[in-house]
Structure 1
Amino acid sequence: MDGSGAPGTHGTRQPAPGGTAHHRALPPTVGVEEEYFVVDPASRAVVAAGPRLAARAAGVLGDLVSGEFTDLQVEVRTPPCAAMDELSARLAWLRRELAACAEAEGLAVCPSATPVLGGGDAAPVGDHPRYRDGVELFRTMMDDFAVCALHVHVYLPDREVAALVGNHLRPWLPLLVEMSANSPFRAGRDTGYASWRSVLRLRFPSLGPPPRVESLDDYRRVAAAMAEVGGSSFAELPFWDTRPHPHLPTLEVRCMDVPAEAADSVALAAVVRGLVVTSARLAEHGDKGPRLGGELLRGAYWYATRDGWPGQGADALSGHVLPAPERARRLVGHIGTALEDLGDLARVTAFVDRLAARGSGAHRQRAVHRAGGLPAVVDDLADCMTTPPAVPPGSSARRTARGRDPGGRASVEESGRACGPAPARARLERPMDDTPKQHGRPPEHAGRVRRDGYARLNAADLGIDTRALAEDFTRLADAYRDLPPDPYARGTHRFRRYSHAVHLPWSGELSYIPGVPDEEFGTVTEYWQDEHNPEYPRVRRRLPDIPESLHGNRLLDALVRADLDRALWLEDLRRVPVYVGVHLISLGVHDREQEAVSSPNCLHQDGGSPATFTFAHLIGRRNVQGGENVIATPESAGRQPDALPPEAIHDRFVLTEPLDGYGVHDRRVSHYVGPVRLGDDGNEGRRDILIIGIAPYTPGL
């Protein structure tokens, strides 16, 4: 059940014999298996053509393709790879070539963990003794057991350490289920679960979390006892979610649904490798892992299968119920050193960002279903088989020929060739704004932001009736008169208030979130830019809230909704609650020696997420000089405009008229506003600006 892998294809090559992962010059190699359903392109239902497709694909992929437990499925496996760039290129090649072979057979391939359409009858079991033994042992339980998984194999030759590593991985397995959840539908029905595949697996006595063991011998005793009482087919190859492979020097992790996109599979492989390396280091120093009750762990699994990302779930380490994003932050903190050492921190961080922006594969399937029905779900998943991965500049993957194995031939010797660790801050995954998917026809006035990554805007562009909203404009402008000094920059002549709201795209509702009590300002709201503000990296700034009287201001509401119109063409924002940050900022000076600056005082991005947008609208400008806006390439972040070559700058301009402004798709550009100085007309000058930030809502923003 779920396959066991083939010798010689998963993490078996390592440049130096012996030793554990962190003792070797190169990182431990990783290989992955992905299973897919074979579907009829006309009906979109699964069909028993797996053996036929595997036979045809073997002419191209050799032993990297095979049949699976049922004839409805086919499996590919990568060779072991030392670098995630290499793994990404190889997996993309395998997917693309398999899809081409399927098309040649009049078929399609669907990366979903359960059949979306069809598969309601007893699944035809593949011709393999291990599969037939499973049917004899578990009988009718096997009728609907057609599921597709992602399996990750990490090189770990020390069997004793590998057995103890399983103890350390146990508490994190439910989170891996949530991160990979991609099976909300089965046989034409919404199950109400994020990972129905995991539900099907958990009913078996030998599938699910492994037991906690004291040693390799203890592991073997428990496995033998399970086989003896009929809980599993083979003592040497139990089907627990982590297991040392009996023939290969690897540890296998098998709890995950097959993701829709190859980029997510690679990111999950990076997470698993980070967990294995971290756990091996602990085990080698005598730590046998936390003692977790089996009941609590299975309860955490059940939470994960039902709600998925970003729902509440049981943290098996603490016993508390916590949202998935919080548990993901704890996971990254736990394995962060290993990820940094391996060059995988940026990839994993980008993956968590993607989950925050769009949810898991289950979210994707349900969103497509709402827009076009279940046939559209199958079509969308099939398209994922040929989505090309983005690779960073200078990556060896850029030098491979399209349609060919990136290694020329998938040999074990070639597969472990090191590409070198990636820079920790590099973004290695495909950005969402590469050929972004849309729901329906986007507004025409969103086109410039969508096309170029930024656009200059005015009242006419925004569709704002300034005459009808004149009184609301006056009340909004009046709110700038009593802005308190920025508590984090009291000497910079910057004044500000800030609140955030949540917008529900499916209902149009916009609700402000109350701030928390504060002795100085009444109420405050936290503002978080992660590491994207070099002046306040990873600092949660507590800023005074905007007045409640502005919550019902019609002009402010019109500006927020006009900006949302320019952002919601991005599919990843249309299917999740949307965070709206509202900043009232004034740069004010009173003599010619003063200079008021923004924060950060350099080109920057406000979040860097693939689904983050920033809009600025001038409310008033009086008796000031400067305040030039600059839009530049994303690589320019952290620098001053005058230090850039001309080709790095997209635009320079000064906002002068009320409601003049601009919008940026944060991932694709950087932006800046220059210092403000006093003009020639009097002894007071100020520039009042409204900043509206838009991003997928996650707890903690």
Structure 2
Amino acid sequence: MAGTTDRSQGRVSHQAVAPMTGSPASRRGHPRLTVGMEEEFVLIDPRTGRARPTAEQVLRRIPGPLATQVVPELTRFQIETNTPVRTDLRRLAADLLELRTVTSAAAASVGAGLAACGTCLAGVAGMPPLTSSPRYLHMYQHFRALLHGQAACGCHVHIGIADREEAIQVSNHVRPWLPLLLALTVNSPIADGMDTGYASWRAILWARWPSAGPPPLFSSAEHYEALVDSLYATGAILDRAMVYWLVRPSDHLPTLEFRTADTCATVEEAIMLAALIRALASTALADVRRGVAAPQVHQTPLCAAYWRAARDGMEGDCVDLLSGRRMPTWHLVRQLLAKVCHSLEDSGDLALVTAVLHRLRCGGSGAARQRAAYNRRRRLADVADLLLRQTLAIPNFPDRPYVPRG
């Protein structure tokens, strides 16, 4: 639940990713943008997959300078990590793996496992144990049962766009692609000890919040601010950190934050997501600077497409919001790659992205892999074992793009 970390305790969840700015444009006019990432994890019993409310003990065991990059979350069985700012995504991958490894070791020292997934497998029904802070108590008093079953963990990608007006216009341009970004990262099919029937149950949990979901089209930065003020005036948010739109300009960093994805099962998949988001934002920013108008996608079909992505993920269908047609998700992936290919080439990330996408298509999404592990013996322990192994899997990035045969 990034953006909700209690600052009254002197912990600022995003301090490790500030400041961020874009660097000069590439030879094709695509700006080279910086990236920072937040990953949220569930602490589980390694033998059963049930939630373990041990975050405070884990945080006390994070060593040295990394202690500032691992912070508490809404509940006592969640924890969040924040990376430094990077332009080289392979260095960012090393940051993610280091944070996962160190935090996992700290969790193991108190008998817990660090699981990279969008929801907890079991043990989170009803009101969760909240992290001790006045802010979270206020949230409970105001929103009450909205917090029941709240164990949603996401992967948030910050893209360095310092100009707020440009950030708002980039948000407008990327809206049609938000459902696909979810479909590529679905990793939460199991919750409360059962298969929910959704590839991303986290996305469904988040849809309950009045400030969540795809952002509207904004006419300007002033329009954005007016809508945020209206959310506050109605009590739909208690502060600006509770603006939970899937894309939002950060309130305290010069970034545009993408909040579409489940916590990715592996570092490879998290970096693939970051690369695609940066390429999409870079392509959109180049269009904004050339005066290209954003697609006029209405809110209702956009929300419906996001629901479809949460249900089906990579293994089903999605909606091309620019044509209105439903199609297999992988067909739309090809369209996205065609759109952002030049930006991926300029940043040197094309090989990385195509290779990881190929492995995902062959091996299945995080959600599909969880279901396969569960269906073998109908045991949550098997899924827990899979999640813990994937969390620490070492990425393997190629130097050349994968080229499909035929």
Q: TM-score under structure 1 normalisation?
A: 0.54
1:573-588 counterparts in 2 under 5 A? none
1:66-81 counterparts in 2 under 5 A? 66-81=71-86
Whether the 8 Å CA contact 2:124–2:149 is kept in 1: the answer is yes
Q: For this pair of structures, how many residues does the alignment match? A: 398
Task: Give the aligned partner of residue 364 of structure 2.
Answer: 359
Whether the 8 Å CA contact 1:177–1:256 is kept in 2: the answer is yes
Residue identity matched to 1:3 = G
Task: Give the aligned partner of residue 220 of structure 2.
Answer: 215
Task: Give the aligned partner of residue 547 of structure 1.
Answer: none
Q: Deviations over 1:604-625 (max 9, x none)?
A: xxx4xxxxxxxxxxxxxxxxxx
Deviation at 1:41, TM superposition (A): 2.5
Residue identity matched to 2:155 = L
Q: Deviations over 1:100-158 (max 9, x none)?
A: 11111221111111111211231112234443343233210111111111000111111
Match of 2:280 among 252, 267, 275: 275
2-structure distance, mates of 1:136, 1:244 = 28
Alignment of 1:333 with 2:338, yes or no, is yes
1-structure distance, mates of 2:96, 2:14 = 18
Task: Give the aligned partner of residue 97 of structure 2.
Answer: 92
Whichever structure has more helix as a proportion of its residues is 2
1-structure distance, mates of 2:101, 2:224 = 39
Deviation at 1:386, TM superposition (A): 2.3
Deviation at 1:12, TM superposition (A): 2.2
Task: Give the aligned partner of residue 376 of structure 1.
Answer: 382
Task: Give the aligned partner of residue 527 of structure 1.
Answer: none
- Other structure's SS at 2:81 match: strand
Whether the 8 Å CA contact 2:22–2:33 is kept in 1: the answer is no
- Other structure's SS at 1:251 match: strand
Structure having the higher Rg: 1
Structure 2: 5+ residue runs without aligned partners?
A: 5-11
Residue identity matched to 2:273 = L
Task: Give the aligned partner of residue 347 of structure 2.
Answer: 342
Whether the 8 Å CA contact 1:2–1:147 is kept in 2: the answer is no
Whether the 8 Å CA contact 1:11–1:81 is kept in 2: the answer is no
Residue identity matched to 2:327 = L
Q: 1:300 to 1:426 in 2, by over 3 A?
A: closer
1-structure distance, mates of 2:2, 2:241 = 15
Match of 1:389 among 374, 392, 395: 395
Residue identity matched to 2:89 = M
Task: Give the aligned partner of residue 316 of structure 2.
Answer: 311
Task: Give the aligned partner of residue 49 of structure 2.
Answer: 44
Deviation at 1:308, TM superposition (A): 1.0
Q: Which has the higher contact order (CA 8 A, sep 6+)?
A: 2
Alignment of 1:295 with 2:323, yes or no, is no
Alignment of 1:12 with 2:9, yes or no, is no
Residue identity matched to 2:70 = V
1:420-499 counterparts in 2 under 5 A? 425=400
- Other structure's SS at 2:385 match: helix
Structure 1: 5+ residue runs without aligned partners?
A: 393-422, 428-530, 533-606, 608-700
2-structure distance, mates of 1:213, 1:133 = 30
2-structure distance, mates of 1:149, 1:386 = 17
Alignment of 1:82 with 2:84, yes or no, is no
2-structure distance, mates of 1:388, 1:253 = 24
1:602-681 counterparts in 2 under 5 A? 607=405
Task: Give the aligned partner of residue 648 of structure 1.
Answer: none
Residue identity matched to 1:42 = R
RMSD, aligned α-carbons = 2.3
Q: 1:157 to 1:255 in 2, by over 3 A?
A: same
Task: Give the aligned partner of residue 511 of structure 1.
Answer: none
Alignment of 1:101 with 2:106, yes or no, is yes
Whether the 8 Å CA contact 2:44–2:113 is kept in 1: the answer is yes
- Other structure's SS at 1:211 match: coil
Alignment of 1:125 with 2:126, yes or no, is no
2-structure distance, mates of 1:322, 1:108 = 38
2-structure distance, mates of 1:361, 1:57 = 27
Match of 2:202 among 185, 197, 202: 197
Match of 1:154 among 153, 156, 159: 159
Q: 1:129 to 1:82 in 2, by over 3 A?
A: farther
Deviation at 1:315, TM superposition (A): 1.6
Task: Give the aligned partner of residue 61 of structure 2.
Answer: 56
- Other structure's SS at 1:197 match: helix
Task: Give the aligned partner of residue 622 of structure 1.
Answer: none
Whether the 8 Å CA contact 2:246–2:260 is kept in 1: the answer is yes
Residue identity matched to 1:79 = P
